[in-house]
Structure 1
Amino acid sequence: MSEIKSIPASVAERLKNVAKQSGEAFDLVLLLYFQERFLYRLSISEYRDKIPNFF
């Protein structure tokens, strides 16, 4: 495996590995990753108190 120097390329490569191991499409894994990271970043932002709590 070649050395990956950029963080986005590294994340993409790891997500490709997850998709391959799980048998899911890369697009689906990427979408789930984006959603998870968006919610995480929102939860630590100054707007966290404005997020409706559904759980």
Structure 2
Amino acid sequence: MPDLILRPFKPAFPLHYGFLYPAWQSRSKVVTELANEIGIVAASQVARMTDPNAHTGV
């Protein structure tokens, strides 16, 4: 698609997310590690999207 243009945008509303865990059992190590990894990746993506100097791939 040679006529495709990518432009960064800022959503009009914040996107909040979280994890739900069952209260009746403790979290396993793998669940805790996965949640931590998702948090790290999400934080880096937010930083990349909010950086006006970030490369957009264009």
TM-score (norm 2): 0.40
Larger radius of gyration: 2
TM-score (norm 1): 0.42
Higher share in helix: 1
The one of the two structures with greater contact order (alpha-carbon pairs below 8 A, sep at least 6) is 2
